[in-house]
Structure 1
Amino acid sequence: MKLILKIFFILFCVFTQAQKKHYFLIDSETKVKKKVKDSASAVKFLDSLAQNNYFFTQLKEVKVIGDSTEIVFDKGKNFNETYVNLSDSITQKTKIQKEFFTKNLDSTKKKINKTYIDDGFAFSRIKSKYKGQKNGYPVVELDINKNDKRTIDGFVVKGYERVPKRFMKNLEKEFKGKTYDDKNLIAINKNFQSHQFVTLERPPQTLFTKDSTSIYLFMEKKKTNTFDGVIGFGNDKTDKFTLNGTLNVNFRNIFNGFETINLYWQRNPDKGQTFDLQTDIPYLFKSNVGLNMKVNIFRQDSTFANVKALPAFYYHINNRNKIGLRGTFESSSIIDTLYVQGKDYNKKGIGIWFEMIEPTDIDLFLYKTKINGGYDYLTTTYTKDNIKAPQNQFYFFGEHNYHINGNHFLNIKAEGAMMDSKIDFSANELYRFGGWNSMRGFNENSLAADFYYYGGLEYRYLIGNQAFFDVFGQYGQLNNKSLNVKPKLYSVGLGFNFFIPIGLMSFQLSNGNEFGNPFKFNDIKIHWGILSRF
């Protein structure tokens, strides 16, 4: 442009007259004074005005005062309403008509430029050229300088670097070679949002070199070990006031392999005790195959005892979904010979299961969504009767925290299980449920069935990010063929959950009963618990 050449010539002449100069740009309209590094910087600034809708920028005066040079300019009117003439390459790319009128040239340029950025041209730049006037408005020609297309070439881990190699390989498999754009950057960041074991200290950063584009991940190891303790108060079958409780300890990622070791113990008011030991290794031999080993022991006072082993292998579909095969080896022994409803038995079989967990960014909730389901085909041998029978078992669990608006949430939960066989089940092999984590308002594991289901809605009101109130209602039904009963059940209650220095404390009142039975206040269950991360 002639204007730029004139400015450059003047500044060059001034520059040659002194070894060290100070340069100032002065806006004749606003009187704003801007210091620049040298003459080239002054030219670049004035050129940028012409590229940003100030098409009639004029050089008014150049004043040399000692070692300072003052350049007075008038940028003129900002023409954001213009006629636009697109280059052939932009027209072909965007499918926009070649000539049109716009009331917002800046928005038009950003929209066109984003089209190229989304295709991986991270350093694309829209060039404006003044072509004259039409009906009192400027005519501007837009062209594109695309530069080189960028794709994601790899990841560099900083900070907590001892993450499983397979985890990083899965990340590279998903994103390496993809277009470098906002969509993929958001997807990468989302992979770490509320991740169970790691978090990002800052959003992913990018290093551009001439031949590569590397994403830097500044990782931090989370405190994921948990202690979950619950104390319950209620009445047993004889209406005697009893104390019961649950302890659940999880050791996670101790060896930096995203592994989990779980210890679980529970005592219910009817003198039943449960003990679980579970180990989960997600990336076995640096592969996407995981190993889960679980041993469950249940003893009902001096009546009977069940021991179950569940070895399983599973495959990571992605970071949140997995599908697996498991074996079942279970045995039960009758301790009290007067317990005629039970039988000694052994079970073995194989099954398939699926699990999906979507993390939550709300610390008060365990997760946003969890779905777990499975099917097992078993062979049951009743040892004393020398009877063998095939058996099918189905299980489903689903939970979701739905955000209504503001601080209002709705927790939706459902669970069901069924066992099917051609012969009658013994009482000691039935499903046991009820209590804090299932059908609330009933004693822990006090409900026995060969088929059951329940569903519940819980309204939660959050108080900042430190506490929430909840009110809930549940409906369910069970089937017990041995007793020939099919009661319909309900439970209602309310609670309060809040953070204290040692963790999340929960307090809950609940009452459950069978439809048709009178409501009894002395059947109210009180639970107090704490979940601590360390």
Structure 2
Amino acid sequence: MKLFLKIFFVLFCVFIQAQKKHYWLIDTETNVRKKVKDSVSAVKFLDSLSQNNYFFTQLKEVKVKGDSTEIFYDKGKNYNETYVDLSDSIVQKLKIQKDFFTKNLDSTKRSINKKYIDEGYSFSRIKSKYKGKKNGFPVIGLDINKNDKRVINGFVVKGYERVPKRFIKNLEKEFKGKTYDDKNLLAINKSFQGHPFVTLERQPQTLFTKDSTNIYLFMEKKKTNTFDGVIGFGNDKTDKFTLNGTMNVNFRNMFNGFEAINLYWQRNPDRGQTFDLEVDIPYLLKSNIGMNTKVNIYRQDSTFANVKFLPAFYYHLNNRNKIGFRGTLETSSVIDTLYTQGKDYNKRGIGIWYEMTEPTDIDLFLYKTKISAGYDFLTTTYTKGNIKANQNQFYFYGEHNYHLSGNHFINIKGEGRMMDSKMEFSTNELFRFGGWNSMRGFNENSLAADYFYYGSLEYRYLIGSQAFFDLFGQYGQLNNKSLGVKPKLYSVGLGFNFFIPIGLMSFQLSNGNEFGNPFKFNDIKIHWGILSRF
């Protein structure tokens, strides 16, 4: 009470000396001089001392010298060890003891205040009040000034503003109305980490008004077009050295709709060629429904050719998960009349699929986690004899980059496909796998099966953020009913991946074989590739 009477005395003195322009606060213990602009600022400073553990602050003297007013004070001892007496509102809210002793009053106040902030009271303030002494320590009453509770009311896009409107609506659907706190702010920021099309130039900013809380997103458009080229060296079935390769070009977000156009071409050592054209439009008519259309053409030298058309529609469950339906239209023609293992056929069917992608904050990796799975029901009509048969096809792919510690990572990957029918399958309708993106010790698409699976374990050591070494081992099995074989396969190898000015370059040595067969050094496959963004 004496402190406040003295403060009022200061105000009175200042009032009667209104023409005075300079105000100095002087600590009698340290002689530190602090200049303030007016009397109100002086009072606020002295009050702040009593709110920050200097409970016995005393006003010693006020001197007026011409146009200068000097205020001498003694802030006394800083009491951080105190008895605490909480207000009834805090006790009821936090369900804690009303009276207790603390060795760190600052920490206690921060802890209580954080609980209110986490509930959206962003401008809450703990008020301290001296209530006397107990056992030589002050007794401090703590109360809360909560102010208004804050929730997220909306988003404002700055910088790259031509993002799909549905994308922003999905953000609002996920976060609008939620409590404004650190947890949700981190979640908003994380939703942009590793996003394929946009990034944030800076952390999300907040504009508080009397009635609203808006999050400002300063977006930047990513370079998302990619060229992925791979050259492979190895031996074909006749042990003849051959050159093969893959070219994959992606045009993405060129029209600011998060759309993608993909062109893929591949030639394997056994003179087989693959061509894919894929178009993906994620937000049809500003909705969460997307469309994906794919055309696949495979030709095996002059033996046979397959053409497949896959139209699909899907729904965005959220930014990382989608589920959809697709149709299948496929036709195959045997070109070589001496090729008796193949049959002309047509396939029609429908299916369902699911895909989940979790982005990564490591530029050297494509993603942290990816899972995709699907099922198709097909009707196959074999031209010769007009024979019809139903087929079931299943597919699963999963990959995850697991951080061990420091620069050490483990990449785990698995894939499997199966087709089931009462009819015997012709060779030209079997699944084909092997090569750079599957069983890496084998030639591209050199393995054919009606059922296969493989698993891969790869150790990766990062060299900063620009390169990594890898060692891998793979195990797999295939089943080919038409040939009556189901060999067990393995593959081992090592590689080096690093950034150069034009993109991410990869170099890899691998060797794969069937268990029981001798290891052959001349079966080593060499792959060199580059992934460039533009």
Please indicate the TM-score interval, normalised by the length of the shorter structure. Answer: over 0.9
Instruction: Provide the rounded CA distance (Å) in 1 between the counterparts of 2:121 and 2:18.
Output: 42
Residues 406-425 of structure 1: per-residue CA shift (max 9 Å, x gap)? 10000000000000000110
Counterpart residue number, 1:249 = 249
Residue number in structure 2 paired with 1:210? 210
- CA drift of 1:239 comes to 0.6
Q: Residue 394 of structure 1 corresponds to which residue in structure 2?
A: 394
Describe how 1:231-310 pairs up with structure 2 within 5 A: 231-310=231-310
User: Quick check: 10-19 or 346-355, which moved more?
Assistant: 10-19
Residues in 1 aligned to 2:338 and 2:167: alpha-carbon distance in whole angstroms: 55
Deviates more, 1:71-80 or 1:520-529: 71-80
Alignment match, 2:195: 195
Counterpart contact for 1:357–1:367, Cα < 8 Å:
yes
Matching residue's letter, 1:356: M
Superposition deviation, residue 115 in structure 1? 1.5
CA distance in 1, matches of 2:81, 2:267: 75
Between the aligned partners of 1:5 and 1:317, the Cα distance in structure 2 is: 64
Find the counterpart in structure 2 of residue 425 from structure 1: 425
Code of the residue aligned with 1:232 in structure 2: it is G
- Please state whether the residue corresponding to 2:167 is helix, strand or coil: helix
| Within-5 A mapping of 1:412-491 | 412-491=412-491
Equivalent in the alignment of 2:108? 108
| Structure 2 equivalent of residue 315 of structure 1 | 315
- Alpha-carbon distance in structure 1 between the residues aligned to 2:28 and 2:378: 89
User: How far did residue 385 of structure 1 move?
Assistant: 2.6
The worse-fitting range, judged by mean Cα deviation, of 22-31 and 371-380 is 22-31
> What SS does structure 2 have at the residue aligned with 1:261?
strand
Paired amino acid for 2:205: Q
User: In the alignment, which residue of structure 2 is the partner of 1:27?
Assistant: 27
Alignment coverage as a number of residue pairs: 534
Determine the structure 2 residue equivalent to 1:371: 371
Find the aligned partners of 1:515 and 1:32 in 2 and give their Cα distance. Answer: 83
Q: Which position in structure 2 is the counterpart of 1:82?
A: 82
SS state at 1:192 partner: coil
Deviation at 1:184, TM superposition (A): 1.3
Return the alpha-carbon distance in structure 2 between the equivalents of residues 30 and 427 of structure 1.
93
Partner AA of 1:349 in structure 2: G
The CA distance in 1 between the partners of 2:451 and 2:254, in whole Å, is 39
Q: Which residue in 1 is equivalent to 2:133? A: 133
Q: Distance in 2 between matches of 1:138 and 1:277?
A: 77
- Pairwise CA distance, 1:63: 3.5
- AA paired with 1:487? P
2:332 maps to a residue whose letter is: S
Provide Cα deviations, 1:438-462, integer angstroms capped at 9, x if missing partner: 0001000000000000001100000
Distance 1:118 1:36 in 2: 35
Cα deviations across residues 270-293 of structure 1 (Å, max 9, x unaligned)? 100000000000000110000000
Q: Distance in 2 between matches of 1:28 and 1:400?
A: 64
- Corresponding residue number in structure 2 for 1:158: 158
The question of whether the paired residues in 2 share the 8 Å contact of 1:418 and 1:451 is answered with: yes
Q: Give distance in 2, aligned partners of 1:460 and 1:503.
A: 19
Contact 1:4 1:47 in 2 (8 A): no
Question: Taking every aligned residue pair, what percent have the same amino acid on both sides?
Answer: 85
Q: How does 1:12-51 map to 2 (within 5 A)?
A: 12-14=12-14, 16-51=16-51
8 Å contact from structure 2 (residues 20, 69) kept in 1: no
Tell me which residue corresponds to 1:176. 176
The CA deviation at 1:65 is 4.0
- What's the counterpart of residue 225 of structure 2? 225
> Paired residue for 2:3?
3
Query: What is the Cα deviation at residue 68 of structure 1?
Result: 2.8
Say whether residues 1:494 and 2:470 are aligned partners: no
Cα deviations by residue, 1:61-107 (Å, 9 ceiling, x for unpaired): 33334433332322111111111111110100000111111111111
Quote how far apart the aligned CAs of 1:384 are.
1.3
- Aligned partners of 2:430 and 2:12: how far apart in 1? 94
**CA, structure 1 residues 146+305, in 2 after alignment: closer, same or farther (shift >3 Å)?**
same
Instruction: Write the distance in 2 (CA, Å) between the matches of 1:525 and 1:56.
Output: 81
Secondary structure in structure 1 of the residue aligned to 2:14: helix
Change (3 A) 1:137 1:520: same
**One-letter amino acid matched to 1:380:** T
Residue 186 of structure 2 corresponds to 186
Which deviations, in whole Å up to 9, do the C-alpha atoms of 1:43-69 show, x marking residues without a partner? 101101100111011123333344333
Counterpart code for 1:144: I
CA distance in 2, matches of 1:76, 1:47: 14
Q: Which residue identity is paired with 1:168? A: I
Q: Post-superposition shift, 1:216?
A: 0.9
Superposed CA deviations along residues 279-334 of structure 1, whole A, max 9, x for unmatched, are: 00000011000000000000001100000000000000000000000000000000
Conserved? CA contact 2:509–2:526, under 8 Å: yes
Greater shift in the superposed pair: 378-387 or 10-19: 10-19
Contact in 1 for aligned 2:19/2:67 (Cα 8 Å) = no
Residues 302-381 of structure 1: pairs in structure 2 closer than 5 A = 302-381=302-381
With normalisation by structure 2, the TM-score equals 0.98
Q: Secondary structure at the match of 2:108?
A: helix
TM-score by length of 1: 0.98
CA shift, 1:15, in A, is 5.2
CA distance in 2, matches of 1:91, 1:218: 41
Determine if contact 2:315/2:322 at 8 Å carries over to the other structure.
yes
* Deviates further, 505-514 or 188-197: 188-197
Q: Quick check: 1:264–1:275 contact (8 Å CA) kept in 2?
A: yes
Secondary structure of 2:59 counterpart: strand
Letter in 1 for 2:446: S
- Select between 340-349 and 200-209 the one with higher mean Cα deviation: 200-209
3-state SS, counterpart of residue 343 of structure 2: coil
Q: Is the 8 A contact 1:460 1:471 kept in 2?
A: yes
- 1:242 CA displacement: 0.6
Question: Are the aligned partners of 2:3 and 2:58 in contact in 1 as well (CA < 8 Å)?
Answer: yes
Name the SS for the 2:191 alignment partner: helix
**Residues of 2 paired with 1:509 and 1:306: CA distance?**
31
d(CA) in 2 for partners of 1:319 and 1:398? 18
Unaligned runs of at least 5 residues, structure 2:
none
3-state SS in 2 of match to 1:448: strand
Distance between the aligned counterparts of 2:84 and 2:239, measured in 1?
Answer: 84
User: How large is the Cα RMSD of the aligned pairs?
Assistant: 1.1
C-alpha distance in 2, partners of 1:523/1:8? 94
Distance 2:437 2:27 in 1: 70
Deviation at 1:524, TM superposition (A): 0.5
Query: Which whole-Å CA distance do the structure 2 matches of 1:269 and 1:66 have between them?
Result: 98
Q: In structure 2, how many angstroms separate the alpha carbons of the residues matched to 1:12 and 1:499?
A: 71
The answer (yes or no) to whether the contact 2:230–2:528 under 8 Å persists in 1 is yes
State the distance in 1 between where 2:126 and 2:275 align.
67
